[in-house]
Amino acid sequence: MLLLGGMLLGAILLGCGQGATAVAPSEILQVLAAKLGLQASPGRPLEAIVWSIRLPRVLLAALVGASLALAGASLQGLFRNPLADPGLIGISSGAASGAALALVAGWVLQPVLSWVPAWLLVPLAAFAGGVLATFVVYRIATFNGRTSVATMLLAGIAINALGGALIGFLTFAADEAALRSLSMWMLGSLGGAGWTQVLVCAGGLLVGSCFLLRRTGEIDALMLGAREAQDLGVDVQRLERRIVLLSAFMVGLAVAFTGLIGFIGLVAPHMIRLWRGPSHRVVLPGAMLLGALLLVLADVFSRTLLAPAELPIGIVTALVGAPFFLFLLMQRREGGWS
């Protein structure tokens, strides 16, 4: 944890320093010290670059990466499947559908959400879409007070297909400006980061982590099987409900502000398991730190590779995550799973 935490702090400093105007770590610390009232301001241009533009973006990347990784690690424990991912049960697809509807046909939502500021319409629609998709999947999978994990996975596949069809229809119907906005959102971007988004995502991560990190022993028991966990005193149904709802909450908030960012929820938990073993007492906090680190580094890479142009961050995570996913599938085929 100390190693990952130190690497994350270093990546945050790197992210705040990289860009069209290079900023030294000492200058970043001067800006932070000035904001804390410990010294005089180093100057408005430097303060604006670090405090208003780069630091919110880097912190949002860290929070989104931690949220996706924590949700992914929790869902992998719930489904007892190392290939599980927040997109598996339709969270990401539902959020993408909500965002697409707001971007292409905002007039449909305007009568219902007339009280919402224009800048918040797309994030709110994405969050609502993710939560709605999760609610539908959960209701389909729950019967007589019991939740079938297999039914939940199948319902998630159906929701993903339905979301893809809706997005395809809206893409076909969109005008040029809406199509460009939708394409950028689907590829993922941290370009709209601000302190409001940082605070909202921090709140979502705090809520999710406060519960999940206190249930690591119960999630370990769940890995043995539902019946075995129940024999050990775990309220399996309540635990399953809370994992699904909290994962939807965290991923919905993250996706709402950044667009679709894949594979972080799959890669980070796996790397921790391969490194330190399967205990969720280590996997959950370790995945949070590693997910934050990976997304901060991916953001730095996306901003510097084609500078001054910016590569969508979803492309970067897919370029790294997809080969890793294929490697995991090959390991499973060869019986190398642990």
Round to whole Å and give the CA distance between 23 and 13: 9
Q: Which residues pair with 146 in a beta bridge?
A: 143
What is the signed CA dihedral for 240, 243, 249, 251, rounded to 10 degrees?
-120
| pLDDT confidence of residue 320 | 82
Report DSSP letters for 86-129, one per residue.
GGGGTHHHHHHHHHHHHHH-HHHHTTTSTTS-HHHHHHHHHHHH
Report DSSP letters for 257-278, one per residue.
HH----SHHHHHHHHHHHHH-S
CB 207 within 8 A of CB 246: yes
Cis status, amide bond into 25, omega within 30 of 0: no
| pLDDT confidence of residue 337 | 45
- Per-residue pLDDT tens for 177-235? 888 878 887 888 888 788 988 998 999 999 999 999 999 999 999 888 888 888 888 88
Round to whole Å and give the CA distance between 75 and 80: 8
| pLDDT confidence of residue 9 | 94
Q: Is residue 110 part of a domain?
A: yes
Q: Is residue 217 part of a domain?
A: yes
DSSP 8-state assignment for residue 193: -
| pLDDT confidence of residue 207 | 92
Domain total of the chain? 1
The first and second tokens of residue 262, run together, are: 């894949």
| pLDDT confidence of residue 338 | 44
Question: Alpha carbon 238 to chain centroid distance?
Answer: 23
Q: Is residue 103 part of a domain?
A: yes
For 286, the domain range is 2-333
Q: Is 143 helix (H, G, I), strand (E, B) or coil?
A: strand
Round to whole Å and give the CA distance between 206 and 76: 20
CATH of the domain at 299: 1.10.3470.10
Round to whole Å and give the CA distance between 301 and 316: 8
DSSP 8-state assignment for residue 142: E
The tens place of each residue's pLDDT in the chain, 338 residues long, gives: 899 999 999 999 999 988 777 788 888 888 888 888 777 777 778 888 888 889 999 999 999 999 999 999 998 888 877 777 777 778 888 888 888 888 887 766 666 666 677 777 778 888 888 888 888 888 888 777 676 777 888 888 899 899 889 988 988 888 888 888 788 878 888 887 889 889 989 999 999 999 999 999 999 998 888 888 888 888 888 898 888 888 888 888 888 888 888 889 888 998 898 888 889 999 999 999 999 999 999 999 998 887 777 888 988 888 888 887 787 777 766 654 44
Q: How far apart are the first and last CA of the chain?
A: 22
| pLDDT confidence of residue 108 | 67
How many CB atoms are located within 10 Å of the residue 242 CB?
A: 18
| pLDDT confidence of residue 143 | 77
Q: What is the helix (H) or strand (E) element at residue 228, kind and residue range? A: helix 226-231
- pTM comes to 0.88
Q: What is the helix (H) or strand (E) element at residue 237, kind and residue range? A: helix 236-258
What is the signed CA dihedral for 270, 274, 279, 284, rounded to 10 degrees?
-40
CA distances (Å), 110 to each of 101, 116, 117, 118, 157, in order? 11, 9, 10, 10, 30
Q: Is residue 338 part of a domain?
A: no
| pLDDT confidence of residue 334 | 60
